[in-house]
Structure 1
């Protein structure tokens, strides 16, 4: 009986064991305080994907050297490559990931526009583009095509979906100006 009761008990969140040389840091991720153990050299991307429970895997590990933008997150509202940002440098700052864009289970306006305009092919670059464009449109809601392209200059799409990505972003920008989406 005790064995079956233990098997039915909800699992407690797993503790990440702190190893020699690791620091326990607290990060503000999507409005929630999250604690994880990291080495001083651990990137923010690795902390999000590998050191947190539950893991936040929306930011993608692709190039691991700041060339593709698939790992883009917002740090105090500014897009940064999580693969090039040390986790310890993010302490005390607000981190927003793709997981924090939707509200109450409803896609953000930009995420919805990506769906409506077929702006995702394989989807690997999508989180990075959404984060870069989100930052752009939060800073300038009625951004022009050139401003959106500049905001996305550090994001690459191997599938070549750029026209659809820019159509989606412009639809949201036009909506912010009171025009049709």
Structure 2
């Protein structure tokens, strides 16, 4: 049995280990999406942990506040990761469905991500929805995808994606770096 819960501060060390294993410690920090997350906190109420029946963190997904060019406020999804011992059990999909539903409930209008189109396409993400938008760094365009939570939210959107949302308080930045 797997449960999805809000992420808590105590999850941070296990989350960082999970992400390093999934994406490589150095590699994940060089990604354009990571630049949009640097020094920021996830969107309020939109950081989730998948836990096994013993309560151990086995999956993670966060959504981040961004500005999607002319479309205005939106969310950036990622990273999504599941412990390799628990993959192919639908945990990533469960995290996705939960996160998108919570984002809808909170009134968010669109979610963008950089990821595998065949995987994220099953949740409604498309390349067509973000064709007029660009990221502030290198990215494989076929992996840049969007999902409208509200019909028309990304219609005719154009411009560069930029970071938004709350910054990590100055006193917590060094703690976050040491843990990461």
Fold shared per TM-score above 0.5: no
TM-score when scaled to structure 2? 0.30
The structure showing larger relative contact order (alpha-carbon pairs under 8 Å, at least 6 residues apart) is 2
Structure (1/2) with the larger strand percentage = 2
